[in-house]
Structure 1
Amino acid sequence: YHAPPSSSGLSGSVGDYYYAFGSESALPEELRSKRVGGQGRLHIFHLPEGPAMLQVGATKGNRRSAMSVLKQLTERMKISQTFPPYQMEKDNRNHVSDAAKEIERQAVSKLTPQGIMAELKELTSFNSRSFREAKASADVQAFLRRKFEATGYTVCLHTFRNGGPATNIVAYVPGTGGSEELV
């Protein structure tokens, strides 16, 4: 942490700064005016009165209007733009059988950060997924269908309207009894 110069009008106390993650388009105007730094989806705000003084209400919308909770900065704090490792609760217990645990262990052992990143990059490489662009939407649906079919799932499409045409791609394993597996 480097204190800003006194001529900046900003506080020299690190505790007067907060950060949050989210799309820039999700920032309410009051927070936008208090943004003093950040990069990408990481935003740093100067809030010497604390976040309780903000007049920001809950908003409705989609993923582009989502923001994380504001967190206070502290001395020597390191903020990463990547998601932190998931921390399980201490009293969490896995109640599946030993055979199921072994299958899970084998499946997880094949996952790598590079493989996951490659999948995410491929999934997010489309210029648009908007229902307003029929060809782009059809391309993404075909991609997802191929991905699921390549892993052995049976795939069907569920079309509906929600402010415009929408399609769920449903992958499943046909069951032999009264239940089926859905992805």
Structure 2
Amino acid sequence: MLRTRLFNITKQLMSFILLLFASMALGSCISQASCQTSNSSQPALPLLQFQKAPCYGPCPSYEANIMHDGSITLISWGNIGIPEDDTVQLCLPKPELQQLKRDIAALNYTSLQDSYLTQWTDRPSTYLTFYEKGKAIKRVKHQEGGPESLITFQKELHQKIMHLVKQKAEQP
């Protein structure tokens, strides 16, 4: 009798643990789902990695991994309105995603230098890694100078991402 009771309790506990792990796995899959509806069961490929490195002051610092479907995994390093070391999922609306792709094409990133450096040690660095077919093609480190198109591209992308962060923070 005691043995049967222990067996049933163990069986129920194992079922609960299995259900818990299954729900955690499902939750993980849902959070990684693409933000644009797509008929493809393939995971979205990376489009661009945008990093604003920390500086000696209160400058925003984060890493944003932008996928071809508009989903963004953002890791906060500080000063962006979400806790440091927090990771959030964002979604770039389809019109803005299409505009970003046009802006990337117009930037002609393969012709950019690998780095635009400064002599000042307190300048923040911005890194852009461009992808084609899931592979990193070009990485640019920017601190100062460079073409106006690069500076404008970085500024506008940062503003878009900060707008999405603000929207996410305002959600209940």
TM-score range, shorter chain: under 0.3
> Which protein is richer in strand relative to its size?
2
Bigger-Rg structure (1/2): 1
TM-score calculated relative to the size of structure 2: 0.20
Greater relative contact order, per chain length (Cα 8 Å cut-off, separation 6+): 2
> Which protein is richer in helix relative to its size?
2
